[in-house]
Every structure is written in C-alpha cells, then in structure tokens.
Structure 1
Amino acid sequence: MRRFLLLLLLLPPLIAGGLIWDYHRFLQTPVKLVEATEFQVSSGASLRRVGQELAAAGLINRPLYWEIQGRLLDQQQGIRAGDYLIQPGQTPEDLLTLFIRGRTIQYSLTIPEGWTFMQMMQAIANHEQIRQTLAPETYMDIMAHLGRPGEHPEGWFFPDTYLFPRHTTDLEILRIAHQRMDRELTRAWENRSDDLPLNNAYEALIMASIVEKETGRADERAMVSAVFNERLRQGMRLQTDPTVIYGIEHFDGRIRRRDLRTDTPYNTYTRHGLPPTPIALPGAAALDAAVNPAPAGPLFFVARGDGSHHFSETYREHRRAVIKYQLGGDASRYGR
C-alpha cells in the first residue's frame, strides 16, 4: 500500500493523474453481469484473495485496485465469509461494502405452529443449508446443550420462520428458537389472568401446546383454554385426544376406543391433571390463550367437521352436540 502511494508521488503528474482517474473509474464501473449471480467468500479469505477470485469469475478486471480500496478503508480483516448475491449494476465499491457488512444470502427454515419437537428436528436434518452437528440418537438430550440438562425438549422451541446464512449449525438454529420461546413464555406468564389453576410457566407451556393442537382458529383458542382450565379447577380429567395421540408410540392416524383406555403418562382420559410435558410447539397466540382463557362457562366442546367447534356448558348439551356432529344425528350410535 505504501509502495503504491510512493509510486504515485514519484510518477510524473500526468501519469499519476491517469492512474487515479483509472482507479476511480474502476470503483464506479458496474460489474460485468447480465443477471444476479452467487459468489462465495471463504472463511479467512484475505482482501487479495477475494479480489483475485472476483477477477477469476470475470466480475472485475483490476483486483489490485479492489485490494487497495479495501486497505484504504482499513478492512484488511473486515471481509465476512458467506454466500452473496451480486446484482447487475453493482460496482466494485458496492461489493466491498457488501462483503464488509456481511449481507449474505439468507436461507429460511419454517417451523409451523403445532409441530412436535421431532418433526422440527427432521426438518432441520433435511435442510441442505444447515450444517448438521447432532446425531439423531442425541436429539432428546438437546436441552443439555442449551444449558437446561435433564429437561424434556418438547414445546421449548418457538414456531416461526428463521433466516440464517449457509452453514449455520443445527445447534445454532435450536438455540435461537429456544431463546425465542423462553422470551415469549416469560412475556405470556407475566401477563396472565388472576386465579389460574396453573402453578408455573411450564404448566402454561403444556396448556398452550394442548390449545394449539385442539384448534387452529383464532376465535376459539380462548374458549378451548377456558374448557381445560376450568376442568383443572374442578378436578376433572382433561380428556383431550391430542395428548393421547402424543403418547402412542406409532400412531397411524386413527384414534381407537382402546387407545383412550390404554394408560400412558399422556392419556388424559385415564389420568387427572396436565400431561408431564408439552405435546407440541405452541405459537404466541396459543401461549396467550393458555394464560388468558375466556370467562368460565363451557366445560365441553366437539368438532363440527368444518374446522370449528361447538361449546357446551353441560354434559347433556354436549351429548346432543356429539350426536349431531359426530354421529350423524343418530342417537342410537352414541357410544361414550
């Protein structure tokens, strides 16, 4: 760098001026592109190496000038590794800014509300741009990596769409999703209604997961929460199918009468209280509904078959709704 400046001082003014003009023209001339193209900056790559690789790709024709500009900006070590999308019209100066600021291509992973922990892990394992560091046999021990050893991972990861650069590790994605859930759960618990039958934030997380699995309708979440909170308050069994399904090792998509009678830690037909862990990954709306149920009233609900539910305050009304919506109106077919 010093040699280049010294050379300019020693050169005749006309030649020096020509070099300076050529230098600035290079910085302001758009790269040779007709459509956007990806360019990868390797980890630890120097200004010189990146300039040479840009030249080799046909994007610039003065790699020395590019290196000089980076040094003038004191960015010898400022280039950030990653995948970049270079657009037609961008100049070498724009590329330097792009690489210094680390505006890499962002890939996405969407974790839908209501997915289970294992569904999320499968999606992470199948993502081509996520670097895999965790073996499937260690998935259930993931909470130890997140500073909470011995805890069950179900429910502890917030469902959302996450953006990240290529080669982000699976553990980094999980840490971000877990921290987000921790914040969302804390926020919901701090804004809970009075006189809940829930003892702590973890029980709220369990309740939210049940609400999430029982309904996807925004206008029903608080009502579903009211049913289960009231059942807890009255000492009734929750009797919710999604918990039973979660406790079936190989669920084939159909819940049978014998499944409701087979005792497991998650069978809320055979056991009182909440299941031992969440049964899914609840979103913010389900978290809020879990701790802010609708005013007490309904104790029962049944699916109408169109995605909505009929809520009932008495068992007699609920029985009629079951006959109407589940048994085709034929009371003789009513079983439980």
Structure 2
Amino acid sequence: MKDLFLNKKFVIIFFSAIFAVILILSLITAKCDGQEKLIKIEKGWGSDEIGQKLKDEGLIGSKWVFVFYAWIKGYNVHLQAGEYLLDSKMSVLKIARMITNGEISENYVKVTIPEGWTNKKIEERLIASGVLKEEDKLPKEKEGYLFPDTYYFERKSSVDIVVKKMSDNFMKKIGEDISKDLLIDSSMKLPNAVIMASIIEREVVSDEDRVIVSGIFWKRIENNIPLQSCATIAYILGVEKKQYSYEDTRVKSLYNTYTNLGLPPAPINNPGLSAIKAALNPKETDYYFFLSASDGTTIFSKTLEEHNTNKAKYLE
C-alpha cells in the first residue's frame, strides 16, 4: 500500500515536472529584439534538423529546446516543409505550432534597404520586388524615419503597412541603441538630429570621421556659417558628381546649404544608426572644413586657406 502511494506520488511529481518544463519552454525565446527571418524547412526534415536551423538563425537558444518540446507535444511527426516567416520574439510553442500547422509564408519577399537611401530609391526597390504597385508613393514627411534594414514584406502590401513597419523599426532601434540620457543631454531635438544625420550619411563613411564632421557642421550652425554640404546639392539636383560647379551651388532651393543658413527643412535621405549617433554626439575639434579625397580619405582643415590648398592637392 505504501509502495503504491509512493508510486502515485512519483507519477504526479514526474508529470508535474514535465508540465512545468513545457510551460517554461513555451515561453523561451532566443532574443527579445524581434528580428524577423524567412526560414525554409526542407521536405523530410525532422525536429533535429529544424531545431538546428532555428538555432543557427538565432531564433532559439538551443536546438534541444525545440526537439524536446516537439517530442513532448507529439509535433515531431507532423512537421511540415515550406517557408516560414518567424520572429526571434516568438516562443518555442508558437514556432512549433506554425511548422506543425503548415503556416507557410509563400507570399513574403526579402528586401534590403541600404543606409542613406531616399524615399524615391526605396520606392523603386519595393516596386521592383513586387511589394508596392507602380503608382504607390512613400510619404515625403516620413523621409528620414524609414529605417534602413532587411525586411520581409508581403507582396502587394499597402504603403501604410510598409511605412508602419519601417518607422516602427526606426523607433525600436532608436530606443535600443541611443540612450535616453544622450537624447536628454543633447542640445538638439531628435528631428534636427535626423536631418543632420541624413547629411552626414552622404558626406563621410567612417564612424571616426562622422563625429568630427558632425562637430564641424554644428559649429558652423552655431557661428552662422553655411554648412556648404555637397550632399544637399546632390539631393536637389538628383545627380551625384565628384565636384559641383559654382552654378550648381546657386540652385534655388530651401535645401541648398550653400545659400541658406542652418539645416535644410527636412532629411535628405533615411540615415542609419551610425550617422544618427554621430549627429547626436559631435566631436569638438579646431576644424572648420573638410573634403573627401579620390580614395575616400577625409581631409580636414582648420582655415579656409588650408582648405583651398587641400582642394588643389586632392581634388584638382
């Protein structure tokens, strides 16, 4: 009788433990950043191969979590091949159910948006990828806030869905990578920082140079000196040139930083995180001028005379 009682107690404890493990595993996620991945599950794959694939893609922390969960729930004999749009925020429970139920994502397309692209260039890529229709236009007021990244969009999406996904990503990345203290302590507002970042994005490439250029530009604004950014001229004309003529720099536009003081009225592209950080964190130097040599090196100058000498040396 006593042995029977102990056996029952053991069974209760055992299954309670299993239930607890299942509950914990159902809540386990690999990351909390919400990174989307379009994963292809090949025909004939079992829980071991699928678990390894999910682990390799950063969607779960351990393949054994998936293997064990699929075995406990009996999913391992019902896993279906196909492409699945998964998210690193998803629980193992949700991922396993999707693959078991065959919730495939055949209508999704992967699109990469590089840093510094204008809304127009983004439109062209999304239209070419079948995400947007030929007549679709991204709203001008969202330029600067459509975060450059890799996305998975459903074909024939609406502009509203695309804009929401990209602007939500912008706010998420700003929240993750730029501390509140930096925004609070900074003398500029985020919208101005995004405008500045869009200029920096097109002017220089390296993070080290970007914070110096940021310092130069903010100092010019403070001292009522035009920014004289070729990036703004390229934006106005819609043409990239090695050098712009005097006539080019006289073009009438509120975005012309040769003829207008301060920042342009809005961003000239959609900058990446590096440029935004540089705009918010300028480095103080004695420099007032800079240019990009033919090999991409940034040449800094303290005086106009020194700058003109460098122009003759590196550009002419």
- TM-score, normalising length from structure 2? 0.64
Q: 1:106-117 maps to which residues of 2 (within 5 A)?
A: 107-117=109-119
Distance 1:195 1:231 in 2: 20
2:113 is the counterpart of 1:124? no
Structure 1 position 216, deviation (Å): 1.7
Shift of residue 185 of structure 1?
Answer: 4.3
Question: Is 1:93 equivalent to 2:73 in the alignment?
Answer: no
Secondary structure at the counterpart of residue 151 of structure 2: strand
The letter for the 1-side match of 2:123 is: M
The answer as to whether partners of 2:183 and 2:190 remain within 8 angstroms in 1 is no
Distance 2:305 2:263 in 1: 25
Q: Following TM superposition, by how much is the alpha carbon of 1:201 offset from its aligned partner in structure 2, in angstroms?
A: 1.1
Verify: 1:161 aligned to 2:150, yes or no.
yes
- Write the deviation string for residues 166-201 of structure 1: whole angstroms up to 9, x where unpaired: 555453232111112234446648343788563x21
Distance between the aligned counterparts of 1:314 and 1:83, measured in 2?
55
Percent of aligned pairs sharing the same letter: 28
Give every structure 1 segment of 4 or more consecutive aligned residues whose post-TM-superposition deviation is greater than 6 Å: none
From the superposition, tell whether residues 84 and 219 of structure 1 become closer, same or farther in structure 2 (CA, over 3 Å): closer
Work out whether residues 215 and 221 of structure 1, in 8 Å CA contact, stay in contact via their aligned partners in 2.
yes
Give matches, 1:174-323, under 5 Å. Answer: 174-185=163-174, 188=178, 190-192=180-182, 198=188, 200-248=189-237, 250-251=238-239, 253=241, 255-323=244-312
Equivalent residue number for residue 90 of structure 2? none
Q: Whole-Å Cα distance in 2 between the matches of residues 302 and 326 of structure 1?
A: 9
Question: Contact 1:196 / 1:229 at 8 angstroms: preserved in 2?
Answer: no
* Secondary structure, aligned partner of 1:108: strand
CA RMSD in angstroms, aligned pairs only:
2.9
Q: How far does residue 126 in structure 1 lie from its aligned partner after superposition? A: 1.1
Aligned twin of 1:42: none
Residues 227 and 298, structure 1, Cα contact 8 Å, conserved in 2: yes
CA distance in structure 2 between the aligned counterparts of 1:85 and 1:170, rounded to whole angstroms: 30
What whole-Å deviation, never above 9, does each CA across 1:56-111 have from its counterpart, x for those lacking one?
A: xxxxxxxxxxxxxxxxxxxxxxxxxx997542345761127515373535631100
Flag structure 2 segments of 5+ consecutive residues without an equivalent: 1-37, 47-75, 81-96
CA contact (8 A) 1:222 1:292 kept: yes
Q: How far apart, in 2, do the equivalents of 1:189 and 1:214 lie?
A: 25
Q: In structure 2, how many angstroms separate the alpha carbons of the residues matched to 1:287 and 1:231?
A: 18
Question: Would you say how many aligned residue pairs link Structure 1 and Structure 2?
Answer: 231
CA–CA separation in structure 2 for the residues paired with 1:296 and 1:101: 59
Q: 1:153, CA displacement in angstroms? A: 2.4
Structure 1 pair 162/191, CA: closer, same or farther in 2 (3 Å)?
A: farther
CA deviation profile, 1:294-319 (whole Å, cap 9, x unmatched) = 12321110112111211112222212
Supply the AA of the counterpart residue of 2:169: R
Q: What is the TM-score normalised by the length of structure 1?
A: 0.61
2:91 equivalent in structure 1: none
The worse-fitting range, judged by mean Cα deviation, of 278-287 and 311-320 is 311-320
Name the counterpart of 2:24.
none
Please say if 1:325 is aligned against 2:310.
Answer: no
- Pairwise CA distance, 1:258: 0.5
Task: Indicate the structure (1 or 2) with the bigger Cα radius of gyration.
Answer: 1
Letter of the 2:135 counterpart: A
Q: Which amino acid aligns with 2:194?
A: L
**Hey, what's the Cα distance between the residues in 2 that align with 1:247 and 1:293?**
26
Instruction: Spell out the pairing of 1:29-48 with structure 2 (5 A cutoff).
Output: none
Q: Distance in 2 between matches of 1:165 and 1:185?
A: 25
Is the 2:146–2:163 contact (alpha carbons within 8 Å) kept by the matching residues of 1? Answer: yes
Structure 1 residues 257 and 280 mapped into 2: Cα distance closer, same or farther (>3 Å)? Answer: same
Alignment partners' CA distance in 1, 2:156 and 2:100: 17
Q: Which runs of 5+ in 1 are unaligned?
A: 1-81, 143-150, 328-336
Distance 1:305 1:324, change over 3 A: same
Equivalent AA in structure 1 for residue 101 of structure 2: I
State the alpha-carbon separation in 2 of the partners of residues 320 and 288 from structure 1: 31
Distance 1:227 1:102 in 2: 53
Shift of 1:134: 7.8
